[in-house]
Amino acid sequence: MKTETVQANQTGCELILALDMEEKAEALALLDKIDNGLTWVKVGLQMFVRWGPAFLKQIASRDYRIFLDLKLHDIPNTVASAVRSLAHCPVEMLTLHASGGPEMLEAARKERDKLSSKPKIIAVTVLTSINEAILGKIGLQGPIEKRVHAMGEMAVNAGVEGLVCSPLELSILRENLGKEPLLITPGIRPSGSEIGDQKRVMTPSDAAQSGSSFIVVGRPILNAVDPYAAATQIRDELAKAHSLT
Protein backbone atom coordinates (compact mmCIF):
# COMPACT_ATOMS: atom_id res chain seq x y z
CA MET A 1 0.00 0.00 0.00
CA LYS A 2 1.23 3.49 -0.89
CA THR A 3 0.33 5.18 2.40
CA GLU A 4 3.17 7.64 3.02
CA THR A 5 2.17 11.15 4.08
CA VAL A 6 2.93 14.15 1.88
CA GLN A 7 5.96 15.78 3.44
CA ALA A 8 8.61 18.29 2.54
CA ASN A 9 12.06 17.15 1.51
CA GLN A 10 12.84 15.15 4.68
CA THR A 11 12.94 11.56 3.43
CA GLY A 12 14.39 12.22 0.00
CA CYS A 13 13.02 13.34 -3.34
CA GLU A 14 10.14 11.34 -4.85
CA LEU A 15 9.21 10.64 -8.46
CA ILE A 16 5.88 11.72 -9.96
CA LEU A 17 4.91 10.30 -13.36
CA ALA A 18 3.37 12.88 -15.67
CA LEU A 19 0.56 10.82 -17.20
CA ASP A 20 0.22 12.97 -20.32
CA MET A 21 -1.42 10.55 -22.73
CA GLU A 22 -4.36 10.57 -25.13
CA GLU A 23 -6.28 7.42 -24.23
CA LYS A 24 -7.55 6.40 -20.80
CA ALA A 25 -7.26 2.66 -21.47
CA GLU A 26 -3.65 3.06 -22.58
CA ALA A 27 -2.84 5.15 -19.49
CA LEU A 28 -4.39 2.64 -17.09
CA ALA A 29 -2.63 -0.25 -18.80
CA LEU A 30 0.66 1.59 -18.36
CA LEU A 31 -0.02 2.11 -14.65
CA ASP A 32 -0.86 -1.57 -14.26
CA LYS A 33 2.42 -2.45 -15.96
CA ILE A 34 4.51 -0.11 -13.79
CA ASP A 35 2.65 -1.13 -10.59
CA ASN A 36 5.05 -0.68 -7.66
CA GLY A 37 7.63 1.07 -9.82
CA LEU A 38 6.28 4.38 -8.54
CA THR A 39 3.80 5.90 -6.10
CA TRP A 40 2.69 9.24 -7.55
CA VAL A 41 0.88 10.17 -10.76
CA LYS A 42 0.33 13.65 -12.16
CA VAL A 43 -2.92 14.16 -14.06
CA GLY A 44 -2.90 17.35 -16.10
CA LEU A 45 -5.43 19.43 -17.95
CA GLN A 46 -5.36 17.25 -21.07
CA MET A 47 -6.57 14.05 -19.44
CA PHE A 48 -8.77 15.63 -16.76
CA VAL A 49 -10.78 17.61 -19.33
CA ARG A 50 -11.30 14.51 -21.46
CA TRP A 51 -11.91 11.85 -18.79
CA GLY A 52 -12.96 13.77 -15.68
CA PRO A 53 -13.16 12.78 -11.99
CA ALA A 54 -14.03 9.16 -12.77
CA PHE A 55 -10.56 8.75 -14.26
CA LEU A 56 -8.99 9.97 -11.02
CA LYS A 57 -10.93 7.34 -9.10
CA GLN A 58 -9.70 4.63 -11.46
CA ILE A 59 -6.11 5.71 -10.82
CA ALA A 60 -6.64 5.85 -7.06
CA SER A 61 -8.21 2.38 -7.09
CA ARG A 62 -4.84 1.11 -8.31
CA ASP A 63 -3.26 2.54 -5.16
CA TYR A 64 -1.57 5.51 -6.80
CA ARG A 65 -1.49 8.94 -5.20
CA ILE A 66 -2.69 11.82 -7.38
CA PHE A 67 -1.16 15.20 -8.10
CA LEU A 68 -3.86 17.10 -10.03
CA ASP A 69 -2.11 19.71 -12.15
CA LEU A 70 -4.89 22.03 -13.38
CA LYS A 71 -3.05 25.32 -12.74
CA LEU A 72 -6.25 27.09 -11.69
CA HIS A 73 -6.17 30.83 -12.35
CA ASP A 74 -9.27 33.02 -12.05
CA ILE A 75 -10.92 35.43 -9.66
CA PRO A 76 -10.74 34.27 -6.01
CA ASN A 77 -14.37 33.22 -5.73
CA THR A 78 -14.24 31.12 -8.90
CA VAL A 79 -11.05 29.33 -7.86
CA ALA A 80 -12.43 28.68 -4.37
CA SER A 81 -15.56 27.20 -5.95
CA ALA A 82 -13.41 24.98 -8.18
CA VAL A 83 -11.53 23.70 -5.13
CA ARG A 84 -14.85 22.93 -3.46
CA SER A 85 -16.02 21.10 -6.59
CA LEU A 86 -13.02 18.78 -6.37
CA ALA A 87 -13.83 17.73 -2.80
CA HIS A 88 -15.10 14.30 -3.89
CA CYS A 89 -11.97 13.54 -5.93
CA PRO A 90 -9.06 11.47 -4.55
CA VAL A 91 -6.51 14.28 -4.96
CA GLU A 92 -3.59 14.89 -2.60
CA MET A 93 -1.97 17.88 -4.32
CA LEU A 94 -3.58 20.54 -6.52
CA THR A 95 -1.94 23.33 -8.53
CA LEU A 96 -2.92 26.98 -8.91
CA HIS A 97 -1.02 29.72 -10.72
CA ALA A 98 0.84 31.95 -8.26
CA SER A 99 0.27 34.82 -10.70
CA GLY A 100 -3.39 34.79 -9.62
CA GLY A 101 -2.19 36.70 -6.56
CA PRO A 102 -2.40 36.30 -2.78
CA GLU A 103 -6.16 36.84 -2.53
CA MET A 104 -6.83 34.00 -4.97
CA LEU A 105 -4.38 31.69 -3.20
CA GLU A 106 -5.81 32.51 0.22
CA ALA A 107 -9.37 31.92 -1.01
CA ALA A 108 -8.37 28.50 -2.35
CA ARG A 109 -6.63 27.56 0.88
CA LYS A 110 -9.53 28.68 3.07
CA GLU A 111 -11.99 26.71 0.94
CA ARG A 112 -9.71 23.66 1.08
CA ASP A 113 -9.58 23.93 4.87
CA LYS A 114 -13.35 23.44 5.02
CA LEU A 115 -13.18 20.10 3.21
CA SER A 116 -12.91 16.66 4.76
CA SER A 117 -10.32 15.86 2.09
CA LYS A 118 -7.54 18.43 2.21
CA PRO A 119 -5.28 18.39 -0.85
CA LYS A 120 -2.07 20.36 -0.56
CA ILE A 121 -2.31 23.66 -2.43
CA ILE A 122 0.68 24.04 -4.75
CA ALA A 123 1.44 27.33 -6.52
CA VAL A 124 3.05 27.32 -9.98
CA THR A 125 5.68 30.06 -10.33
CA VAL A 126 7.09 30.32 -13.88
CA LEU A 127 6.45 27.49 -16.34
CA THR A 128 9.52 25.48 -17.32
CA SER A 129 8.66 26.07 -20.99
CA ILE A 130 9.39 29.80 -20.48
CA ASN A 131 12.82 31.41 -20.66
CA GLU A 132 13.76 35.08 -20.29
CA ALA A 133 13.19 35.81 -23.99
CA ILE A 134 9.61 34.53 -23.76
CA LEU A 135 9.13 36.35 -20.46
CA GLY A 136 10.02 39.60 -22.22
CA LYS A 137 7.52 38.93 -25.00
CA ILE A 138 4.67 38.82 -22.49
CA GLY A 139 5.78 42.09 -20.93
CA LEU A 140 7.64 40.76 -17.90
CA GLN A 141 11.29 41.46 -17.28
CA GLY A 142 13.75 38.91 -15.99
CA PRO A 143 15.87 37.52 -14.56
CA ILE A 144 13.59 34.54 -14.06
CA GLU A 145 15.20 33.61 -10.73
CA LYS A 146 14.10 36.89 -9.12
CA ARG A 147 10.58 36.55 -10.46
CA VAL A 148 10.30 32.95 -9.23
CA HIS A 149 11.61 33.96 -5.82
CA ALA A 150 9.18 36.87 -5.50
CA MET A 151 6.21 34.77 -6.59
CA GLY A 152 7.23 31.87 -4.39
CA GLU A 153 7.62 34.03 -1.30
CA MET A 154 4.24 35.68 -1.93
CA ALA A 155 2.55 32.28 -2.38
CA VAL A 156 4.05 30.77 0.77
CA ASN A 157 3.02 33.84 2.74
CA ALA A 158 -0.51 33.31 1.38
CA GLY A 159 -0.51 29.87 2.99
CA VAL A 160 0.20 27.41 0.16
CA GLU A 161 2.09 24.24 1.09
CA GLY A 162 4.32 24.07 -1.94
CA LEU A 163 5.58 25.51 -5.21
CA VAL A 164 6.20 24.28 -8.73
CA CYS A 165 9.43 25.69 -10.12
CA SER A 166 12.14 24.74 -12.55
CA PRO A 167 15.05 22.83 -10.97
CA LEU A 168 17.29 25.80 -11.72
CA GLU A 169 15.48 27.85 -9.06
CA LEU A 170 15.62 25.20 -6.32
CA SER A 171 18.68 26.54 -4.56
CA ILE A 172 17.45 30.13 -4.27
CA LEU A 173 14.03 29.00 -3.03
CA ARG A 174 15.47 26.63 -0.43
CA GLU A 175 17.91 29.30 0.72
CA ASN A 176 15.18 31.91 1.16
CA LEU A 177 12.14 29.81 2.13
CA GLY A 178 13.74 27.01 4.13
CA LYS A 179 12.93 23.30 4.27
CA GLU A 180 9.18 23.46 4.84
CA PRO A 181 7.63 24.22 1.42
CA LEU A 182 7.24 21.31 -0.95
CA LEU A 183 9.22 22.10 -4.11
CA ILE A 184 7.97 20.21 -7.15
CA THR A 185 10.13 20.31 -10.26
CA PRO A 186 9.16 19.45 -13.82
CA GLY A 187 11.80 19.93 -16.47
CA ILE A 188 13.63 16.78 -15.34
CA ARG A 189 15.49 14.82 -17.96
CA PRO A 190 17.70 11.79 -17.26
CA SER A 191 21.08 11.97 -18.97
CA GLY A 192 20.72 11.38 -22.70
CA SER A 193 17.00 12.22 -22.88
CA GLU A 194 15.54 14.75 -25.29
CA ILE A 195 14.52 18.00 -23.57
CA GLY A 196 11.50 18.54 -25.86
CA ASP A 197 9.69 21.83 -25.17
CA GLN A 198 11.34 22.33 -21.78
CA LYS A 199 13.73 25.27 -21.49
CA ARG A 200 15.10 24.95 -17.93
CA VAL A 201 16.08 21.36 -17.17
CA MET A 202 18.19 19.23 -14.81
CA THR A 203 18.91 15.55 -14.14
CA PRO A 204 17.02 13.69 -11.37
CA SER A 205 20.11 13.40 -9.19
CA ASP A 206 21.02 17.08 -9.47
CA ALA A 207 17.43 18.14 -8.71
CA ALA A 208 17.32 15.94 -5.61
CA GLN A 209 20.62 17.28 -4.31
CA SER A 210 19.43 20.85 -4.97
CA GLY A 211 16.44 20.43 -2.65
CA SER A 212 13.55 19.13 -4.76
CA SER A 213 10.77 17.36 -2.84
CA PHE A 214 9.27 15.79 -5.98
CA ILE A 215 10.46 15.55 -9.56
CA VAL A 216 7.96 15.24 -12.41
CA VAL A 217 8.96 13.02 -15.33
CA GLY A 218 6.82 12.15 -18.32
CA ARG A 219 8.20 11.26 -21.73
CA PRO A 220 11.41 9.49 -20.58
CA ILE A 221 9.14 6.95 -18.84
CA LEU A 222 6.09 7.01 -21.13
CA ASN A 223 8.20 6.51 -24.27
CA ALA A 224 10.56 3.93 -22.79
CA VAL A 225 10.63 0.39 -24.14
CA ASP A 226 10.28 -0.76 -20.52
CA PRO A 227 8.47 1.96 -18.50
CA TYR A 228 8.83 0.00 -15.25
CA ALA A 229 12.60 -0.21 -15.69
CA ALA A 230 12.80 3.49 -16.61
CA ALA A 231 10.83 4.52 -13.50
CA THR A 232 12.85 2.20 -11.28
CA GLN A 233 16.13 3.56 -12.64
CA ILE A 234 15.07 7.13 -11.81
CA ARG A 235 13.94 6.14 -8.31
CA ASP A 236 17.26 4.38 -7.73
CA GLU A 237 19.07 7.53 -8.86
CA LEU A 238 17.03 9.60 -6.39
CA ALA A 239 17.79 7.18 -3.56
CA LYS A 240 21.51 7.36 -4.33
CA ALA A 241 21.38 11.15 -4.43
CA HIS A 242 19.63 11.21 -1.04
CA SER A 243 22.33 9.02 0.47
CA LEU A 244 24.92 11.62 -0.59
CA THR A 245 23.17 14.57 1.08
Report pLDDT digits (tens) over 215-224: 999 999 999 9
Minimum mean pLDDT range among 21-35, 61-75, 139-153 = 139-153
Fold held by 14-244: TIM Barrel (3.20.20)
Model pLDDT, residue 174: 95
| Helix, strand, coil percent content, the chain, rounded in steps of 5 | 45, 15, 35
71 is catalytic: yes
Beta bridge partners of 68: 43, 94
Widest CA span in the chain: 47
- What does pLDDT average to over the chain? 89
Predicted local distance difference test score (pLDDT) of residue 192: 55
Is residue 45 scored above 90 in pLDDT?
Answer: yes
pLDDT: which is higher, 47 or 7: 47
Query: What pLDDT is recorded for position 193?
Result: 57
Q: Which of 6-10, 153-157, 232-236 has the lowest mean pLDDT?
A: 6-10
**70 burial level (CB within 10 Å; 0-12, 13-18, 19+):** middle
CB 63 within 8 A of CB 2: yes
% of the chain beyond a pLDDT of 70: 90
pLDDT attached to residue 9 = 40
Neighbours of 154 (CB within 10 A): 17
Give the pLDDT band of residue 136 (cuts 50, 70, 90).
confident
Which pLDDT score, from 0 to 100, does residue 190 have?
Answer: 77
Check 2, 24, 57, 71 and give the catalytic one.
71
Burial of 233: CB neighbours in 10 Å, binned 0-12, 13-18, 19+: middle
pTM of the model: 0.89
> Mean of the pLDDT values across residues 145-171?
93
pLDDT higher for 79 or 22?
79
Where are the domains positioned within the chain?
A: 14-244
Mean pLDDT of 111-128: 93
